[in-house]
Amino acid sequence: MFGKKHIIMILLAIVSLSLISAVAAADDAISSDNDTIAASNDLETISVEQDDNLKSNEESQISQNQNDEVISSQSTPSTYFSLDLKDSYEISSSKDGKISIYVNPCTNANYNAYNFNLVGFDKDWNVVYDSGLKSRNADVNGKAKTYSLTIPKGSFLPGTYVLAAVNNYDTKVMDVAVLNVSGTAVITSSDFSKYYNSDKTMTAKVTDKATGKPLNGVDVKVTFTKGKSTTTKTYTTNSKGQISIEPPKALGTYAVTMSSATPHVTVSSVKKTATVIKAPVSVKAHKASEYQGFKITLKATVKSQGKKVSEGTVKFKINGKTYSAKVKNGVATKKIKLKKAKKYTYTAKFTSSNYKPSKAVKAKATIKKRVSTKIVVKNQKVYMDDTKFFTVKILTKSGKKVNGGKLKIIGQDSTDVKKGKAKLVKYGGGIKHLKRINGRTEYYRKAMTKAFKLKYIPSSHKYKSSIKKVKVTSVFKCPGCGKKSTHNHYAVGYYVVYKTRIIVS
């Protein structure tokens, strides 16, 4: 559960305020009461483990009985001495435990040989144990030794913890270790039942058998068995000793076995059952409407336990026929064509292997008649060099204004229809009126007429499209003097106007 490098990184980054306060408070207490310091100054009774590199055979104690000695040295920074913890330790929750610590003391007479607190953290980095200050006067002849610190029984509940040696002077984490605390626990749970696709979870609680207190950070193995199928997951208890278990999704009744996945915590396995049953659904059919000639969309929404259903089938019945549609993201739709313009009633019914079948629910489906349209416009005239707008009306057959859609000149651009009107541009024929040039005489056509085809393109199925032809006649008008018939310009020549009209297709 814990990696040493990972632990060091976390503790270096976030040594909790409660830890700093606890260390500082212990330091203050020691500096204010020398007698108390002398009494709590040592690390219990020591059994020395000689290092291969140590030449001294002296039997040392981190905490010898120093009641007659008053500590007068200064607190030592973490850089002035070193200590090493093992990677991991194991003690019993019901017995005093021994923790061996290798210390290379400070030999500067102005400082303590060492000073630190041994602090225990649970998996949520809460401080659950503090040894109090462990300190000793400077010893200029001090040698590196392995000492033993006693952790009183009951200091830790069964489980896995982090031990950190924290310097009381600068609150630096000097080393860390994993502490496995053995003991016996009890798992309590109940048989469980839930609907398919429900968020409901099965719960269990792990407590210390001796004290009844909840155990934090204990791994529990949970196995679900159904026939020959087995699924196993491991969960870790929270600060309340609880785990939330997610049963398999498939329908059925499962045998559930819970046991300890933490080797040093002994638990009698617990057997329960978990049942996943078909869930109820709510179905709503929605009103639908469309115009003749287009497919109408039948729609139903399906929910279960407040969530959208994304499986199963809805069967729609209308006009004597049945249609099926799959449910996706809580919605089933089906497009069909109904010929007659009238009101229909349709039903929707949901079925699925994982949900209870629904009742057939009803809704209305209406097919409406489309509205015919007409284009109203007069034939237009324009002088040959002019450009002007003219208005085209788009109305229903009964004379009502049509709003929306486009009016298109076939082969050209289109324009919007607003409040039954559309504006188009009429252009004069310009130089196209000129037939030929012969000396100083110019021959012009009297009129030119061009036919255009207009088409109304509706934006709604409500309206039908319509077509209309319109003629635009371009009439000769002298660009110099404005006369509309044959006349003479002495400066530029003679204008001859032919009265024959030509039609441009």
Q: Can you read off the two tokens belonging to residue 206?
A: 């792990």
Hey, CA dihedral for 225, 231, 235, 240, is it positive or negative? negative
pLDDT band at 8 (very low <50, low <70, confident <90, very high): low
pLDDT for residue 501:
62
- How far is it, in rounded angstroms, from Cα 457 to Cα 191? 67
pLDDT for residue 138:
83
Same domain, 50 and 110: yes
pLDDT for residue 442:
85
Q: Last residue of some domain: 277, 293, 313? A: 277
The total number of residues written for the chain in this structure = 505
Per-residue pLDDT tens digits for 90-104: 999 999 999 999 999
For residues 314 and 350, the answer to whether their CB atoms sit within 8 Å is yes
Per-residue pLDDT tens digits for 315-332: 999 999 999 999 999 999
* Percentage of the chain lying above the pLDDT 90 cut: 75
On the question of pLDDT at 84 being above 90, the answer is yes
176 versus 33: the higher-pLDDT residue is 176
pLDDT for residue 67:
33
What does DSSP assign to residue 113? S
Count other Cβ atoms within 10 Å, centred on residue 294: 13
* Beta carbons within 8 Å of 176's beta carbon, 6+ residues apart: 4, 7, 8, 11, 85, 162, 163, 164, 165
* Percentage of the chain lying above the pLDDT 70 cut: 84
Average pLDDT of the segment spanning 404-432: 93
Same domain, 446 and 350: no
Domain count, the chain: 4
Same domain, 97 and 35: yes
pLDDT for residue 11:
58
Average pLDDT of the segment spanning 113-120: 96
* Beta carbons within 8 Å of 78's beta carbon, 6+ residues apart: 167, 169, 170, 172, 174
Same domain, 426 and 485: yes
- Among 390, 167, 194, 355, CA closest to 273: 194
pLDDT band at 37 (very low <50, low <70, confident <90, very high): very low
On the question of pLDDT at 54 being above 50, the answer is no
pLDDT for residue 171:
93
- How far is it, in rounded angstroms, from Cα 188 to Cα 340? 67
Per-residue pLDDT tens digits for 252-288: 999 999 999 999 999 999 999 999 999 999 999 999 9
* DSSP per-residue codes, 226-275: ETTEEEEEEEE--TTSEEEE---SSSEEEEEEEEE-STTEEE--EEEEEE
pLDDT for residue 502:
62
362 versus 142: the higher-pLDDT residue is 362
For residues 254 and 223, the answer to whether their CB atoms sit within 8 Å is no
456 to 109, 293, 379, 417: CA distances (angstroms): 105, 18, 17, 9
- Rounded to 10 degrees, the C-alpha dihedral 297/303/308/310 comes to -70
On the question of pLDDT at 466 being above 60, the answer is yes
- How far is it, in rounded angstroms, from Cα 505 to Cα 487? 29
Same domain, 28 and 147: yes
pLDDT for residue 498:
78
- How far is it, in rounded angstroms, from Cα 450 to Cα 432? 12
Domain boundaries, position 322? 282-368
pLDDT band at 63 (very low <50, low <70, confident <90, very high): very low
412 versus 226: the higher-pLDDT residue is 226
pLDDT band at 121 (very low <50, low <70, confident <90, very high): very high
pLDDT for residue 479:
85
pLDDT band at 490 (very low <50, low <70, confident <90, very high): confident
Same domain, 271 and 395: no
Mean pLDDT of the chain, nearest integer: 86
pTM (two decimals): 0.70
pLDDT band at 140 (very low <50, low <70, confident <90, very high): confident
Same domain, 299 and 316: yes
Estimate the share of the chain in helix, then strand, then coil, as percent rounded to the nearest 5: 10, 50, 40
pLDDT for residue 444:
87
* SS3 per residue for 126-195: CEEEEEEEEEECCCCCCCCEEEEEEECCCCCCCEEEEEEEEECCCCCEEEEEEEEEEEEEEEEECCEEEE
- Among 257, 272, 270, 97, CA closest to 185: 270
Average pLDDT of the segment spanning 217-224: 97
pLDDT band at 4 (very low <50, low <70, confident <90, very high): low
Same domain, 354 and 478: no
- Using DSSP's 3-state secondary structure scheme, residue 198 falls into coil
Average pLDDT of the segment spanning 69-77: 68
pLDDT for residue 455:
97
Q: Give me the CATH number covering residue 476.
A: 2.60.40.10
Same domain, 164 and 257: no
Per-residue pLDDT tens digits for 279-318: 999 999 999 999 999 999 999 999 999 999 999 999 999 9
For residues 220 and 260, the answer to whether their CB atoms sit within 8 Å is yes
Same domain, 114 and 258: no
Same domain, 408 and 357: no
pLDDT band at 23 (very low <50, low <70, confident <90, very high): very low
Q: Last residue of some domain: 134, 165, 182? A: 182
* DSSP per-residue codes, 304-328: ETTEE--SSEEEEEETTEEEEEE-B
pLDDT for residue 139:
80
pLDDT band at 500 (very low <50, low <70, confident <90, very high): low
- How far is it, in rounded angstroms, from Cα 208 to Cα 85? 27
On the question of pLDDT at 6 being above 80, the answer is no
pLDDT band at 431 (very low <50, low <70, confident <90, very high): confident
- Using DSSP's 3-state secondary structure scheme, residue 74 falls into strand
On the question of pLDDT at 377 being above 60, the answer is yes
Same domain, 206 and 58: no
pLDDT band at 424 (very low <50, low <70, confident <90, very high): very high
Q: Last residue of some domain: 124, 155, 182? A: 182
pLDDT for residue 495:
84
- How far is it, in rounded angstroms, from Cα 308 to Cα 298? 18
